[in-house]
């Protein structure tokens, strides 16, 4: 019988992200191998054999790093974790879901429902988080996928060029392509017909799109790795600068985990053994900082977030669908492109909005039955469904003169 580990791996694969990613790899790899072996560079030549082995090698390395990133996972903070020194708890946030303190550089992922060590982001393509344990394999996947697609794109282009070169005839006002028979001596076992041309053209589009999209993600990842940050920590650093400038506190925030050398930062993720340095809970810091410099800044930002949040009241019902048809054309077409949830609203619900777009807002719904601030459900909702809620901060009662937010 399959163990719980096997079932968990199977569930990782049962998601649209891995299905699309693996389909792209399969289509590009299979089409490139077929084009090369049948029509461009036959296997009975030395160059053709080397080319085929290289294509196979790209596929194996891409899939190895892809499944490593997916199945190894980012590493999770142990349930019930607390720092060795009890007085250090004052520097950390407490996670009610995991019933533990959030270790430095860790964040709670709502998709994985765990606190992730050195969390970078939750990636839908691997249906898992990118973090402490799988950051290296995930980044290698982002490097190898564009390189393999560049090789495959070359095969697609050269196959279509060599097969169509003698089939194209130019008239005074037209261009004709004869796809009835191959103009090659000797003729290939399988003629290069219209279906083969369409498959090669489709695979070329996938390969070029993957090269651009995944290549850009690789550049972004390398930028944060060379400064020993994560994507979340880069955002925290930006918010720290904004907070200091807004309140004119005169503070200087120094990111504590930058080792001062790109090579040293690189070695924090990539090692010869493949196992990242450290244990994912304690981290080396630069001079002038200590282990909780970043978590202290996070606590300051959390307090600032509560101060800056604006309370709204729902004036229309909203079902929580991703693209609501009844809330206007602009709301429908500008729905946030994120896996963050939407929250259903009923008329009269109270929401604490913390950020927003032109037609959408993100916030926490306050349940009326809860006490001391209430239990909150977080997510996106249409801006037109709410209005600003004017209330007395001392009595928490509404006041006259409420205006609908613009």
User: Could you list the active site residues?
Assistant: 123
Neighbour tally for 251: CB within 10 Å: 13
CA distance 127 to 112: 9
Q: Which two tokens stand for residue 326?
A: 């009844």
> Measured over all CA atoms, what is the biggest interatomic distance in the chain, rounded to whole angstroms?
90
Q: Where are the alpha helices (DSSP H) in 276-396?
A: 293-308, 329-333
Q: At what angle do helices 16-35 and 4-13 cross, to 10 degrees?
A: 70
Nearest alpha-carbon partner for 182 in 153, 159, 202, 203: 159
What size, in residues, is the chain? 406
Please check whether residue 41 is in contact with residue 48, taking contact to mean a CB–CB distance below 8 angstroms. yes
CA distance 218 to 38: 33
Nearest alpha-carbon partner for 126 in 16, 216, 218: 16
- The secondary structure element, H or E, covering residue 358 is none
- The secondary structure element, H or E, covering residue 363 is strand 360-366
Q: Which two tokens stand for residue 151?
A: 């090789």
């Amino acid at each position: 019988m399959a163990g719980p580990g096997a079932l968990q791996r199977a569930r990782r694969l049962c998601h649209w992200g891995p299905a699309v990613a693996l389909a792209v790899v399969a289509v590009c790899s299979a089409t490139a191998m077929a084009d090369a072996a049948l029509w461009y560079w036959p296997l009975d030549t030395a160059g053709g054999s080397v080319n085929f082995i290289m294509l196979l090698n790209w596929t194996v390395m891409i899939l190895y790093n892809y499944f490593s990133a997916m199945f190894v996972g980012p590493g999770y903070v142990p349930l019930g974790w607390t720092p060795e020194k009890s007085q250090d708890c004052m520097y950390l946030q407490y996670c009610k879901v995991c019933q533990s303190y959030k270790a430095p550089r860790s964040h709670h992922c709502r998709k994985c429902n765990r606190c992730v060590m050195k969390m970078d982001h939750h990636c839908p393509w691997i249906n898992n988080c990118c973090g402490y344990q799988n950051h290296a394999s995930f980044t290698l996947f982002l490097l190898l996928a564009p390189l393999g697609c560049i090789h495959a794109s070359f095969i697609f282009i050269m196959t279509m060029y060599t097969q169509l070169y003698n089939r194209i005839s130019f008239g005074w006002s037209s261009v004709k392509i004869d796809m009835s028979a191959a103009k090659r001596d000797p003729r290939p076992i399988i003629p290069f017909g219209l279906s083969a041309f369409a498959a090669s053209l489709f695979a070329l589009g996938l390969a070029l799109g993957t090269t651009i999209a995944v290549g850009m993600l690789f550049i972004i990842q390398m930028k944060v790795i060379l400064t020993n940050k994560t994507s979340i920590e880069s955002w925290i650093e930006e918010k720290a600068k904004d907070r200091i400038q807004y309140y004119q506190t005169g503070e200087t925030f120094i990111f504590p985990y930058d080792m001062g050398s790109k090579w040293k930062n690189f070695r924090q993720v990539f090692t010869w053994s493949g196992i990242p340095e450290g244990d994912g809970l304690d981290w080396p810091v630069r001079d002038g900082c200590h282990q909780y410099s970043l978590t202290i800044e996070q606590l300051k930002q959390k307090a600032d977030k509560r101060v800056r949040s604006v309370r709204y009241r729902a004036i229309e019902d909203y079902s929580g669908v991703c693209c609501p048809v009844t809330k206007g054309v602009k709301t429908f077409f500008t729905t946030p492109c994120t896996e963050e949830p939407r929250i259903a609203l009923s008329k009269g619900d109270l929401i604490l909005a913390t950020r927003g777009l032109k037609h959408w807002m993100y916030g926490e719904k306050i349940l009326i039955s809860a006490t001391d601030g209430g239990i909150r459900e977080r997510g996106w909702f249409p801006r037109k469904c709410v209005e600003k809620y004017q209330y007395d901060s001392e009595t928490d009662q509404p006041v006259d003169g409420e205006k609908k937010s613009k």
